[in-house]
Amino acid sequence: MPGMTVRSPSEKLMIVLRRFYGRLSLVSLAVLAACSTPVAPPPPPTPPPPLVETVRPRPPMGAVENMSIPEIQDGKYLTPNRKVTSNTALWHVRMALNVAALSCRSPGDLARLQYNRLLHVHGPILTQANEAVDRNYKVAYGAAGFGARERLNTTVYNFFSLPPVMKSFCPVAEAVGAKLLAMPSSALLDYAPTALAELEKPFQDFYAAYADYLRRLAEWQSRFGGTVTVWAVPSPLPPPPVPPGEAPRQGFAPSVTSAIQQNLPPPPDAAPAAQPARPPAAAPTQPATSGPKLMVQPLPTNTE
């Protein structure tokens, strides 16, 4: 026909072959794509290194640096309230509440009002406890007993007056004061050791926090010690004096005398009786300061 292209047999064969190979390539690519292994996603980015505290740790509760704290014995920090009799515990509770009355400020001066009320309601049992503690010191130290007790009293007052602990101590003192006022006087001696432990707990917690601060400070310095002043860990406080044990009441005598005491006189060369040991001097529980010091005195008992 006119206008039609006439191809030779060889040209027709080449066209057919090109179409066949084109289709074969598409099928091959599809097969290869179906059999290929998927590519693994890229690994996640490396996390940044942990943040290192670069700010120098500070003492807890606004305490001063280079402050000495007591050593630990039997799981607790040594305080002047350890190994106390019930009478001594009650007297230490009274001193702690006296500190609260002078130092704690709350609406209505609750600690002060509680303390005055305590002296009025429980005055006789507090007087008996005071006499018992005096007797204990006299039996233990003889003529030196008064001075020994005064030194321990000073240590106890200083212990409960530690400034950084006042904020946490005052609510506890008010709670203990309320419990004492709600119970009869006959129950005070039994409750006194528990009350003393409750009043001491804020100070035990503070010592633990300060020890943790010293640990963090040492760790901080081990990382940045090349650029800071070397820190010396303060020496622990010396152990406070231990109150004497309970002594028998004046005029007490055993009802039974042993046969040895009845029949055998003391040997002529017997050594003289041992003299009462002098108590150790009280050690300060706070860093020395140049500011004015408050003279702690009991509050008057004639106010409600």
User: Which 3-state string (H, E, C) describes the chain?
Assistant: CCCCCCCCHHHHHHHHHHHHHHHHHHHHHHHHHHHCCCCCCCCCCCCCCCCCCCCCCCCHHHCCCCCCCCCEECCEECCCCCCCCHHHHHHHHHHHHHHHHHHCCCCCCHHHHHHHHHHHHCHHHHHHHHHHHHHHHHHHHHHHHHHHHHHHHHHHHHHHCCHHHHHHHHHHHHHHHHHHHHCCHHHHHHHHHHHHHHHHHHHHHHHHHHHHHHHHHHHHHHHHHHHCCCCCCCCCCCCCCCCCCCCCCCCCCCCCCCHHHHHCCCCCCCCCCCCCCCCCCCCCCCCCCCCCCCCCCCCCCCCC
Average pLDDT over residues 9-15: 66
pLDDT at position 76 over 70: yes
Residue 106: per-residue pLDDT: 86
The predicted model gives 93-105 an average pLDDT of 97
Q: What does the pLDDT look like over 24-53, one tens digit per residue?
A: 555 555 555 555 566 778 888 888 876 655
Confidence of residue 206 (pLDDT cuts 50, 70, 90): very high
The predicted structure's pLDDT at residue 187: 97
pLDDT digits (tens, 9 = 90+) for 229-283: 555 678 888 888 889 889 887 655 444 433 333 443 444 444 444 455 555 555 5
Which range (52-66, 108-122, 209-223) has the least confidence? 52-66
Residue 161 has pLDDT above 90, yes or no: yes
Whole-number pLDDT of residue 270: 44
Mean pLDDT of all residues belonging to the chain: 79
